[in-house]
């Protein structure tokens, strides 16, 4: 069984969001080709994603000092369990598709919080004498991003996503951009349709 995770980082659906429209086109084409694959479709705006805060930092410190889990506050226990669940869910996946808009040259904060949940020493990377080494192997990742301007992958958001997954050890990494709609609004529909076609073609080989 091939496990596939869709990580949507946009509060709006495909009727408004260009990144979600392209993602839906990819997913529909992928399902036709791989009807037997197990797909988890998660929108980060429909679930709780813990941010690294005082509760988590203090909880990790207490646990590292050998304190029992049940000595943590209810809030700490809930956040630690939630954080760990995202880590373990990611580790079970074979293919991951991440979709987001470019907001102020960055990714949405919900996506950053999820990425923090999967960037865990001892589980997705490790420290060695020569530096940090990614230990995520055998996973395929696709990053879909919608940009109002044209960056050709040079924007900080897509560079960050690529950098973090490369850091974790992912070597099979792909990018699909739908961009330039605000720069050339008269061609916005054409740009999106071309991206939809690219997504459908990419689904055949992903």
**Tokens coding 57:** 């930092």
pLDDT at 195: 96
pLDDT at 179: 96
112-168 per-position pLDDT tens digit: 999 999 999 999 999 999 999 999 999 999 999 999 999 999 999 999 999 999 999
DSSP label of 14: T
18 annotated ligand-binding residue: yes
- The residues pairing with 125 across neighbouring beta strands, listed in sequence order, are 121, 134
Residue 34, pLDDT score: 97
Beta bridge mates, 128:
131
Query: What confidence score (pLDDT) does residue 16 get?
Result: 79
- 0.85 surpassed by pTM: yes
Output the DSSP codes for 79-143.
HHHHHHHHHHHHHT-SEEEEEEE-BTTB--HHHHHHHHHH--BTTTEEEETTEEEE---S-EEEE
What pLDDT is recorded for position 13? 84
Structure tokens at 160: 């960050």
Structure tokens at 46: 């429909």
- The response to whether 19 counts as a known ligand-binding position is yes
* Low-confidence residues of the chain: pLDDT under 50: none
């Amino acid at each position: 069984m091939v496990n596939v995770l869709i990580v949507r980082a946009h509060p709006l659906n495909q009727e408004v969001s260009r990144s979600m429209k392209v993602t839906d086109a990819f997913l529909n084409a992928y399902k036709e080709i791989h009807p037997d694959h197990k797909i988890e479709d998660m929108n980060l705006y429909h679930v709780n994603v813990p941010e690294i805060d005082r509760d988590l930092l203090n909880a990790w410190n207490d646990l590292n000092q050998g304190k029992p889990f049940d000595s943590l506050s209810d809030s700490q226990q809930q956040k630690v369990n939630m954080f760990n669940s995202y880590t373990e869910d990611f580790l079970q996946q074979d293919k991951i598709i991440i979709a987001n808009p470019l907001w102020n040259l960055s990714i949405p904060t919900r996506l950053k919080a999820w990425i923090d949940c999967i960037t865990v020493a001892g589980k997705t990377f490790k420290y060695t004498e020569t530096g940090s080494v990614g230990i995520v192997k055998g996973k395929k990742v696709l990053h879909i991003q919608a940009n109002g301007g044209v960056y050709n992958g040079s924007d900080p958001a897509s560079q960050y996503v690529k950098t973090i997954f490369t850091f974790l050890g992912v070597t099979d990494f792909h990018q699909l951009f739908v961009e330039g709609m605000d720069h050339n609004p008269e061609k916005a529909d054409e740009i999106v349709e071309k991206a939809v076609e690219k997504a459908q073609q990419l689904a055949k080989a992903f």
